[in-house]
Chains A and B, each alone.
Chain A
Amino acid sequence: MEVLVYLVPLALGLGALGLAGFLWSLKSGQYDDLDGAAWRAIADDDPPQAAPKKKLGSP
């Protein structure tokens, strides 16, 4: 059972890493526009100069 001595802190460390990630995402404004973020994920990211190429008919 001595394995707990480092397994439990390891688990907590991973959890804390997750929390740090969440706080970072909050700080960088990722929760400011939830509706927009949903759409951005599926938008094509063409460079602004190039005309967006659209394939008609393809899903």
Chain B
Amino acid sequence: MKRGQLAEAIGFIFLKLCVGAVLLALVIILYDIVSKGIGSINWEFLTTMPKNGMTEGGILPAIIGTFLVTIITAILAVPLGMGCAIYLNEYAKDNLLNRIIRMSIRNLSGVPSIVYGLFGVILFVQLMRFGTCVLSAGLTLGLMTLPWTITASEEALKNVPKSYREGALALGATKWQSIRTNVLPYAVPGMLTGTILGLSRAAGETAPILFTGVAFFLPFLPKSLFSQFMALPYHLYIMSTQHHAISKVRPLAYGTALVLIALIFVMNLFAVVLRYNLRKVKTE
């Protein structure tokens, strides 16, 4: 018995060390970026163009670019993701087709991001002749985000009690009427939470936009959907590996990393607050 307790004590210490190591990694990452990046952040950094071969000035075009491309991602991924989730959860029967669709979704979420990039090059840049631009990059990211938004939306739909649907149907509503009036109003906030989380991941992605529209340096903001653009993640990559004076621009790279992380953090926070409020409404 004594030996068992000793083993248990040692075992639990091991588990605590694991947790500690994971926490430590997170703390080091955040501390390093925040402490070294905060010095670069000021109004000028956020609102001006890069200057002198990107050794000075700000990152405005990269912020705008990331913002634009994320909007296009959302336009593609949100409606299609929600639609697919509605089909799977409300309409589809448990048959072979349904299983193939689910298998496809799981596989799509495992397709490497660079492969989405190659797909985007073939489909949007070449076949559809959009060229390398905001639109191509946004659509590529949108396809990549699709499996995440589907999964999140379906989760939200599953949380709506069955009785809500049955109530509407019993009163003579059609299937779509019951979905529209008795399911979606309760599911949409949850769907949005998951979708925003997915979009925040897309905003930080680099590989899919490498060849579909992102540019090294542009002295102006994108003028239309068919212009090239700068993006925060790619800008960080350039500043930390491809720049001719890497050590000189290190503070700017840290600043870019901090802005990128802050952007994603704000999006996540927004999603979490949405979820929290939703829970409160439900329990009231």
A and B assemble together = no
Which positions in A face B, CB cutoff 8 Å? Answer: none
